[in-house]
Amino acid sequence: MTAKIAVACGDAPKAIGPYSQAIRCGQWGFLSGQIALDPATGLLVGASVEEQTERVIRNLRAVLAGMEVGLEAVVKTTVYLTSMADFPRFNEVYAKHFPAPFPARATVEVSKLPKDALVEIEAVAYLGSV
């Protein structure tokens, strides 16, 4: 079995529980869910789903950079929204950042997220020969 390597990036929020920001296993990176936390303060930022999605994607980029790749390496995301009414506005922001072909994705509505966030995104990235 390929070794699991924990990825920790100072430009992304520290884990708020017993988990890693990401795990690298061979040519794959498995990113824990990110919410709109400011890495410097640990506080939730943004009042709207658009603002929070921007911050979440910045956090994902930071973790990916710790594995020497960018958003183009993401092959699958899972999105958690506290309201499907936010889905169209979330999609507008998401589409601005992820390059085509877009990653495969599942989006689910949940009753609550940590720190009362509106959106959380987890991702799987193909790291290739990095």
Burial of 2 (0-12, 13-18, 19+ CB in 10 A): exposed
Q: What distance separates the 2 farthest-apart alpha carbons in the chain?
A: 43
Q: What is the pLDDT of residue 1?
A: 63
Of 15, 51, 57, nearest to 32 by C-alpha is 15
The CATH number given to whatever domain includes residue 36 is 3.30.1330.40
Q: What is the pLDDT of residue 129?
A: 62
Q: What is the pLDDT of residue 16?
A: 86
Burial of 51 (0-12, 13-18, 19+ CB in 10 A): middle
Number of domains in the chain: 1
Domain that holds residue 99: 4-126
Burial of 45 (0-12, 13-18, 19+ CB in 10 A): middle
Q: How far apart are CA 86 and CA 122, in angstroms?
A: 18
- Mean pLDDT, consecutive 10-residue segments, the chain of 130 residues? 88 92 97 97 97 98 97 98 98 96 98 98 88
pTM of the model: 0.95
